[in-house]
A and B are shown apart, each in its own frame.
Chain A
């Protein structure tokens, strides 16, 4: 029996490691490239005016995108308010009551499918239902479409986070003679960091969604004063401005891109931090 060459084995090992490293580096490099590009092109237009003024006509210069920043905040906030309560409750159902029965499997499958639905289809769906029924584009319709995208994300993370709470804690609350709903309050407390993380990640997920807003909130050059009217928002503004032939509008689109990227990044960092302090607490226990 001739032993296999050790040198060959080591070479193969080194090659595989190098390839894996390169692939990982390439993926990360793309992220940094995007961030560098967005920053380089967008930073110059970001000033006080960007966050305080309405858009200027092409060629005039000096305007801002305050209406779109505000509109995005409003629509995302409304979507969060719509998606979080039912999402968390669905997660509670899946984690606490559903078990592994048929209905639970169906719900879980449905949640996963919902997560995979392309956002443009969510937009079309809301256009076909809410926009047509209410007679026009509106911030409400935009919020509904974003809420539909957030819902499965919130439900899934809520389920996962509630499952992380050890059964012994659940049992010991109930062993005190607490009714189930009061025990759930303690479980929520124990899972609070994870739940907050889930919500933040869901917000980050919809923060830059364009397609659903295109069909629902549309856009507007004015301040968002009426939620039943088309409402300015950053993603659709980027879409419009970047496609325009005007240099200054294109620059504003880069600026808006930087705002969204920074916002999503900040949310992700905050949620990571929340989760980390949460798990450190648990580890100490």
Chain B
């Protein structure tokens, strides 16, 4: 049990710009809101994303699927630069939002995050009232008279279908809501600041099936106004709600296509194996 086990793992192949271009009909995306070019990502010295190229269509839902640890979440965490909270996490390449590389130091992260909202796996109501939760970003980014603030909070809560459920107890703590309601509250909070892109990192994996169905409906309704990117473990969910799907495996984008085509006629063996449940 010694000797052989002690030898080092084989060195990783050189990765920079190893153009394993995902076999995608990239022209499929008509108007791209976000264009990712040659994105590599590192946790310290360990590389976890390899030469990602992707286009996120405006006013569409793009799903990102793939087995655990394939880099799905890491990928979208670049879009709002939330990864930069952590020392040692580093993104190299280009992520163009309306033609501007958001990885540039010149980009103001506060404004970037207003334009690119994010929803997390666990609902994260802030420890304050329902009203203050939704008003949080509004107060952060805008100076609004009280009446307009109230109007916008109401509008956001209506957009997520929560208004009728909470209108009578806007002063109650956000944490008193059920899990599904909390997640919709978080979506309302993100919508209130008038973003352009909504990132969702497995938004329904901590929520019961009925609440999940409501959130899926909501996601579909959001695309008339917003560009949505959703990471999901659940392939049926991706098939149900997305227009485009990217399949990630081991940090690479294996295949990207219109959802209907990717699920019915995948061109890559690995995609087919994954969506037919042969691994993952």
Contacts and interface: CB of A to CB of B under 8 A. Distances in A.
Given A284-B175, A285-B175, A176 B137 contact: yes
Interface stretch (B48-56, B111-119, B265-273): B111-119
A254 to B, nearest CB: 45
A179 B110 contact: yes
Contacts of A175: 80, 82, 113, 117-118, 120
Contact of B140 (A166, A177, A190, A285): A177
B189 interface: yes
A71 B118 CA distance: 53
B109 A190 contact: no
Nearest to A285: B175
Contact of B111 (A168, A174, A177, A285): A177
B146 to A, nearest CB: 20
Interface string A147-172: 00000000000000000001011111
A244 B127 CA distance: 54
A284 to B, nearest CB: 6
A130 B109 CA distance: 48
Interface residues of B, number: 33
Interface in B84-104: 85, 87
B193 A177 contact: yes
Contacts of B113: 174-177
B26 interface: no
Contacts of A171: 82, 85, 118, 120, 124
A173 interface: yes
B175 A174 contact: no
A99 interface: yes
A4 interface: no
A281 interface: yes
Contacts, number: 72
A182 interface: yes
B86 to A, nearest CB: 9
Interface residues of A, number: 22
A103 to B, nearest CB: 14
Interface in A174-198: 174-179, 182, 186, 189-190, 192
A285 B175 CA distance: 6
A177 B126 contact: no
Interface string A260-285: 00000000000000000000010011
B128 interface: yes
B193 A172 contact: no
A174 B83 CA distance: 11
Contact of B127 (A176, A177, A179, A190): A190
A96 to B, nearest CB: 10
Contacts of B111: 177
Given A177-B111, A190-B127, A285-B175, A172 B118 contact: yes
Interface string A208-225: 000000000000000000
B59 interface: no
B70 interface: no
Nearest to A193: B127
Contact of B141 (A172, A177, A186): A177
A166 B120 CA distance: 12
B110 A177 contact: yes
Given A168-B120, A169-B124, A174 B193 contact: no
A150 to B, nearest CB: 26
Interface of B: 80, 82, 85, 87, 109-114, 117-118, 120-128, 136-137, 140-141, 173, 175-176, 182, 186, 189-190, 193
The 8 closest A-B pairs by CB, nearest first: A177-B113, A172-B124, A175-B118, A177-B110, A189-B127, A177-B114, A190-B127, A176-B137
25 contacts: A99-B87, A166-B122, A168-B124, A172-B118, A172-B120, A173-B126, A175-B120, A176-B117, A176-B137, A176-B190, A177-B111, A177-B114, A177-B137, A177-B193, A178-B110, A179-B110, A182-B140, A186-B128, A189-B127, A192-B127, A281-B173, A284-B176, A285-B123, A285-B175, A285-B182
